[in-house]
């Protein structure tokens, strides 16, 4: 049975009842067998003490208990400050397992919270009803055989989504390392923030940060994480964890009641008791300055979940942190692919690098700088417009009038709504014409880099369809979808098209 918008996660699908298994830790046995010297128990204790001793994380847990928040943000800088860097290295090298360990540590600290009769989450409402039913049976001296002796799956009880904020990077230090490597004739291949082409096979299973522009994003769809079944014979509930894009539903009951009675109860799927996640498939592409001469920009598939689904749009310049994984091909593609895997990244944190003017909040230092700039112009009787135009692309001498026009385009003006209902656009279009070698391309690249939302492209490598939109086939559903071109990616921003006559 195929799940719409399903996810291929590491591991194999498995079924479990309430007597069940350790959910989400399918890779621990393999890793312990491979490296028995790894002390996961000690790291689990370190994570437990870390969350218990941090006041900020206790406040986040309190909000989750009171159902005021559904996300938990973990900053790796805080773990580094609490412990030595060895735990960070192990966390980033085996991210999937340490994410599960962090969730276990958080689950221990989250209490039941206030009682609710009805919640926005139907699963939480059903769990509350089940707990009350079990307590009534216990108070009524019901035999233990009729009670659920094992707890519900942890995934079903989890009311939050874990986000992992990467370690803060000193960009100046990174540039210095890159310059030193280039001076020695080497390639700086292990930066903290990578491009798409710098993520290789050795990074599978690790926590990586990739910088790029979002070129395609699917609509948010529900993704099955845990399927609940009810037996028509004994009435028990069986839970099935979905770990791939396709699975075979259970047909026969595996509970102790049916086994003791030697019956084969028929299972029926309960949608409202199952756990679903908000899911989006996103494509991020390399930036123009990350593509080598003569190369083609590469793309990476990213899976985004829950609250992160609404934190990005097509055209956004982002840094995405997540676990780099691979998934096998299915169907006829598997016969051709052989042992090759399809790479993707499970996103755990998103940082938007360029915000629009409306979304950007000015800091106190920026406000003071603007006020001092205005006071200097008034006291020295200077023209602020000329000073701003001169600061635009200072490496290019002259072209004062052109820089003034580009400055007006960057700033823009409010959109005017006329009483007759007509709308007058406040933005302007600019066409730069001139001889070769007069810095037209440099001005365009500078504007695209400074603008909160800017896209630079060239007419030589783009067709008319590439500038507007293209019809593509969705990898999950097979439907035809529209993928935006450069002009769509620069919506509410500036699209710089070089060699426009080509």
Query: Tens digits of per-residue pLDDT, 463-489?
Result: 555 677 777 777 666 666 667 777 777
pLDDT in tens, 72-83: 888 888 888 877
pTM of the entire structure? 0.71
pLDDT band, residue 390 (cuts 50/70/90): confident
* Predicted confidence (pLDDT) at residue 372 exceeds the cutoff of 70: yes
Q: Compute the mean pLDDT over every residue in the chain, rounded to the nearest whole number.
A: 75
Which residue did the predictor score with more confidence, 144 or 136? 136
139-190 pLDDT, tens digit per residue, is 655 444 444 444 577 777 788 888 888 888 766 666 677 677 667 666 555 6
Nearest partner of 128 among 141, 138, 119, 137, judged by Cα: 119
pLDDT of residue 134: 65
Give the model's pLDDT for residue 185: 66
Integer Cα distance of 451 and 337 in angstroms: 42
8 Å CB contact between 114 and 159: no
Indicate the pLDDT class of residue 421, thresholds 50, 70 and 90: confident
Evaluate if residue 270 carries a pLDDT over 70. yes
Q: For the purposes of burial, counting CB atoms within 10 Å of the CB of 119, is it exposed (0-12), middle (13-18) or buried (19 or more)?
A: middle
Residues 354, 453 contacting (CB under 8 angstroms): yes
Confidence of residue 461 (pLDDT cuts 50, 70, 90): low
pLDDT at 19 over 50: no
| Residue 360 DSSP code | P
Calculate ∠ Cα 301-315-362, nearest 5°. Answer: 120
Q: Would you call 336 helix, strand, or coil by DSSP?
A: helix
What are 316-333's pLDDT values in tens digits? 888 899 999 888 777 777
Q: Evaluate whether 145 touches 56 at the Cβ level (below 8 Å).
A: no
Least confident of 102-111, 292-301, 349-358: 349-358
Report pLDDT for 139: 63
C-alpha torsion angle, residues 261, 266, 270, 276 (rounded to 10): 100
Q: What is the pLDDT of residue 318?
A: 87
């Amino acid at each position: 049975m195929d799940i719409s918008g399903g996810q291929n996660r590491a591991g194999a699908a498995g079924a479990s009842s309430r007597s069940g298994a350790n959910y989400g830790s399918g890779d621990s046995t393999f890793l312990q067998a491979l490296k028995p010297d790894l002390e996961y128990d000690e790291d689990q204790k370190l994570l437990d003490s870390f969350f218990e001793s941090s006041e900020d994380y206790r406040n986040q847990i309190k909000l989750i208990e009171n159902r005021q928040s559904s996300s938990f943000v973990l900053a790796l800088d805080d773990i580094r400050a609490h412990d030595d860097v060895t735990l960070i290295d192990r966390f980033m090298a085996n991210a999937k397992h340490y994410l599960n360990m962090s969730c276990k540590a958080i689950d221990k600290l989250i209490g039941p919270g206030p009682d609710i009769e009805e919640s926005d989450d139907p699963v939480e409402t059903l769990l509350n009803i089940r707990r009350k039913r079990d307590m009534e049976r216990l108070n009524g001296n019901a035999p233990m055989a009729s009670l659920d002796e094992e707890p519900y799956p942890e995934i079903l009880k989890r009311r939050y989504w874990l986000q992992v904020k990467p370690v803060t990077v000193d960009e100046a230090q990174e540039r210095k390392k890159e310059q030193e490597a280039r001076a020695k004739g080497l390639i700086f291949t292990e930066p903290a923030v990578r491009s798409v082409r710098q993520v290789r096979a050795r990074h599978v299973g690790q926590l990586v940060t990739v910088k790029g522009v979002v070129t395609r994003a699917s609509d948010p769809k529900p993704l099955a994480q845990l399927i609940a079944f009810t037996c028509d014979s004994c009435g028990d509930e069986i839970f099935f964890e979905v770990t791939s894009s396709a699975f075979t539903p259970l047909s026969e009951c595996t509970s102790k009641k049916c086994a003791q009675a030697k019956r084969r109860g028929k299972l029926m799927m309960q949608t409202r008791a199952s756990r679903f996640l908000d899911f989006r498939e996103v494509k991020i592409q390399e930036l123009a300055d990350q593509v080598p001469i003569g190369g083609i920009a590469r793309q990476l598939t990213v899976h985004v979940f829950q609250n992160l689904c609404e934190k990005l749009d097509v055209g956004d310049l982002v840094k995405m942190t997540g676990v780099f994984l691979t998934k096998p091909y299915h169907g006829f593609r598997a016969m051709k692919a052989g042992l090759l895997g399809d790479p993707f990244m499970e996103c755990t944190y998103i940082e938007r690098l360029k915000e629009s003017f409306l979304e950007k909040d000015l800091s106190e230092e920026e406000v003071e700088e603007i006020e001092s700039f205005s006071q200097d112009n008034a006291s020295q009787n200077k023209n602020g417009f000329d000073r701003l135009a001169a600061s635009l692309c200072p490496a290019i001498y002259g072209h004062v009038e052109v820089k003034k026009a580009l400055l007006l385009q960057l700033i823009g003006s409010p959109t005017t709504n006329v009483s007759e209902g007509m709308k007058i656009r406040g933005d302007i279009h600019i066409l730069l014409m001139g001889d070769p070698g007069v810095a037209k391309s440099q001005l365009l690249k500078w504007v695209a880099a400074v603008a909160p939302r800017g896209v630079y492209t060239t007419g030589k490598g783009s067709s008319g369809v590439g500038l507007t939109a293209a019809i593509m086939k969705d990898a999950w559903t097979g439907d035809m979808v529209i993928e935006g071109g450069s002009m769509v990616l620069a919506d509410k921003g500036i699209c710089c098209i070089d060699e426009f006559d080509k």
